[in-house]
Amino acid sequence: MSADETIVILGGGGKTGRRVAERLTAKGKDVRLASRSTAPAFDWTDPSGWAAALEGADAAYVSYQPDLAVPGAVEAIGTLCRMAAEKGVKHLVLLSGRGEDEALAAEETLKRSGVGYTIISASWFFQNFSEAFLLDGIQSGELFLPVGAVKEPFIDADDIADVAVAALTEPGHKGKTYEVTGPQLMTFGEAVAEIARQTGRDIRFTTVGIDDYAALLEQAQIPADYIGLVRYLFTSVLDGRNESLTDGVLQALGRPPRAFADFVRETVATGVWEDLK
């Protein structure tokens, strides 16, 4: 890909999109962020704006919202692929969810589209604890989740961004699916214990039943379809199917993925996990 080519980042303000955009910009690439708050706007629920977001683009990083497992995701990815082909986009790099059977249908749609592709099928991000829905619990000192002994190979969003940038800027990644995990299997409780250890704070982890957790989300007026997605992620995907490590980061980058403890050390220094009470 030459320097004057344009790369669109769908979800450019998000945990991975922001990191992908920063890296591409640092390499001197022409980057266009696209989400509901950009101009032109890109909203996954309204395809009328998608053509403008893709106009003149050579490649795109695609992080779907809220999750490729939700109803309508496969159709949306199909529509995006058709528009990308019409607009001459030559490469789509899709972020997918590891172990999500429904996401595989979206991946297949992309593979059959005729557009060049790279798929990054990722485990749970470290940054869910520092930039997303687990942050409040860490800050308050008590994280409740409907998950117990199951282990997850959490991965750094920085590693995902590095894989995406390699795919978008180097030869040899088209037609590849990288299943990426971190280097270590951990329970959610072990991850919280590591954050507690390094922050020096008392942060408790408590397992609650899925119905009790859904009721808590309902009380907090979380939309029903989001609660449905949470139920799916914690009951179906976190059933032990992902309790294994992969070498996707090594395959794509030639180096191992970053350890959770290193992420925790850097994140402690930002102050984001300080006690807000």
Closest listed residue to residue 14, CA positions, set 119, 132, 179, 121: 132
Name the segment binding ligand NAP (CB under 6 A); options: 41-49, 85-93, 143-151, 211-219. 41-49
Judged on CB neighbours under 10 Å (0-12, 13-18, 19+), 203 is buried
Q: Please identify which residue in 8, 24, 31, 44 interacts with ligand NAP, judged by CB under 6 A.
A: 44
Residue 15 near ligand NAP by CB under 6 A: yes
Let me know the angle formed at the C-alpha of 113 by 109 and 118, rounded to the nearest 5 degrees. Answer: 80
Residue of minimal Cβ distance to ligand NAP: 14
Q: What are phi and psi of 129, to 5 degrees?
A: -80, -20
Residue 13 near ligand NAP by CB under 6 A: yes
Question: CA-CA distance, 180 to 123, in Å (whole number)?
Answer: 7
Question: CA-CA distance, 44 to 79, in Å (whole number)?
Answer: 10
Q: Please identify which residue in 79, 128, 187, 236 interacts with ligand NAP, judged by CB under 6 A.
A: 128
State the minimum distance, in angstroms, from the CB of residue 135 to ligand NAP. 12
Q: Please count the other Cβ atoms lying within 10 Å of the Cβ belonging to residue 269.
A: 9
* Residue list 236-255, contact with ligand NAP (CB under 6 A): none
Residue 67 near ligand NAP by CB under 6 A: yes
Residue 11 near ligand NAP by CB under 6 A: yes
Residue with Cβ nearer ligand NAP (113 or 128) = 128
Residue 36 near ligand NAP by CB under 6 A: yes
Prior bond to 146 cis, omega within 30?
A: no
Residue 125 near ligand NAP by CB under 6 A: yes
Site residues for ligand NAP per CB under 6 A: 11-17, 35-37, 42-45, 63-65, 67-68, 95, 97, 122, 124-125, 128
